[in-house]
């Protein structure tokens, strides 16, 4: 089952989608040295394109590290001992449109069929992958890179690992209740689960037009700071950097003069 979940989906304009009974499944794993031959990935994309040409619907999950392959960069150092697939994709003959209320009922019905112990979910034994000292050292190095002009923005991230209890769908239900977003998903396949939840649109395509809506800067929607978020210099600087980054990326594949920023510093709830 694959659920693409939009918290703003309505009965008049249902934008959530439920996909069931996949026609085909693609899965590309990194090799022993955590690399993948570009030809293998291209073959996969060719098959996916053929599926779309036949009028099928495709849902894909692409790892961040796939970008290294596309841009001919070396694999990420110190990879996880259990690497995630670089490419996972499913094709379907149809899908069902759902409103938020439909999704609520769909999840509730599935949870009701589970044993009571599986209906309550959460995380335990959460551990960060780096120490505070290493984190501080990394930030100092990043500041030096910026001062030296080697870069102007680095997204410094690290993994957080932990254990979960309860059914994955119950965990997703809890997540969507606490953080409803327009771009959530529950993906269940052969004992593996993906539970993404985001308010941010990375990229959307409508014909020959691509649309990106990068977000930077957050504030509590209940606080007074929410109304003045767009006036904060730090959040403005972060927003300008990410908008400029996406603008530059889009310009690499767009006709000259066709990339525009119609809205800047727009506050979304």
Taking the CA atoms of residue 155, residue 227, residue 201 and residue 172 in that order, the dihedral angle to the nearest 10 degrees is 90
pTM above 0.75, yes or no: yes
Least-confidence region, from 31-40, 48-57, 80-89, 259-268: 31-40
Residue 263 lies in a domain: yes
Instruction: Report pLDDT digits (tens) over 166-213.
Output: 999 999 999 999 989 999 999 999 999 999 999 899 999 999 999 999
> Phi and psi (nearest 5°) for 139?
-65, -40
Q: Does the pLDDT of residue 221 top 70, yes or no?
A: no
Number of residues that make up the chain: 269
Residue 256 lies in a domain: yes
Residue 231 lies in a domain: yes
Cα separation, 267 vs 227, in Å, equals 8
Q: Does the pLDDT of residue 251 top 80, yes or no?
A: yes
Residue 242 lies in a domain: yes
Instruction: Report pLDDT digits (tens) over 130-179.
Output: 999 999 999 999 999 999 999 877 889 888 999 999 999 999 999 999 98
Task: Check if the beta carbon of residue 165 is closer than 8 Å to that of residue 122.
Answer: yes
Question: What pLDDT is stored for residue 119 in this prediction?
Answer: 95
Residue 252 lies in a domain: yes
Instruction: Report pLDDT digits (tens) over 6-58.
Output: 999 999 999 999 999 999 999 998 875 556 778 889 999 999 999 999 999 99
Instruction: Report pLDDT digits (tens) over 238-250.
Output: 889 889 989 999 9
Q: Domain count of the chain?
A: 1
Question: What pLDDT is stored for residue 77 in this prediction?
Answer: 65
Residue 173 lies in a domain: no
Residue 222 lies in a domain: yes
> Whole domain around residue 262: which residue ranges?
201-269
Residue 233 lies in a domain: yes
């Amino acid at each position: 089952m694959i659920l693409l979940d939009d918290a703003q989906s309505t009965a008049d304009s249902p934008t959530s989608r439920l996909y069931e009974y996949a026609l085909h499944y693609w899965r590309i794993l990194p090799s022993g040295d955590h690399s993948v031959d570009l030809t293998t990935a291209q073959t996969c994309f060719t098959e996916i394109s053929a599926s779309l040409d036949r009028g099928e619907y495709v849902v894909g999950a692409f790892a961040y590290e796939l970008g290294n392959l596309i841009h001919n960069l070396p694999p990420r150092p110190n990879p996880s001992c259990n690497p995630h697939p670089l490419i996972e994709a499913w094709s379907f003959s149809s899908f069902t449109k759902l409103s938020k209320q439909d999704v609520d009922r769909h999840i509730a019905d599935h949870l009701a069929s589970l044993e009571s112990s599986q209906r309550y979910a959460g995380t335990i034994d959460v551990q960060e992958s780096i120490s505070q000292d290493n984190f501080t050292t990394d930030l100092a190095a990043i500041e030096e890179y910026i001062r030296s002009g080697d870069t102007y923005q680095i997204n410094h991230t690290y993994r957080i690992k932990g254990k979960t209890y309860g059914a994955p769908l119950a965990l997703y239900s809890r997540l969507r209740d606490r953080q409803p977003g327009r771009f959530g998903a529950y993906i269940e396949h052969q004992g593996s689960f993906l539970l993404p939840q985001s308010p941010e649109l990375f990229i959307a395509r409508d014909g020959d037009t691509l649309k990106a809506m990068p977000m930077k800067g957050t504030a509590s929607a209940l606080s007074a700071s929410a109304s003045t978020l767009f006036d904060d210099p730090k959040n403005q600087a972060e927003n300008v950097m990410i908008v400029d980054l996406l603008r530059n990326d889009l310009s690499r594949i767009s006709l000259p003069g066709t990339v525009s920023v119609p809205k800047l510093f727009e506050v979304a709830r």
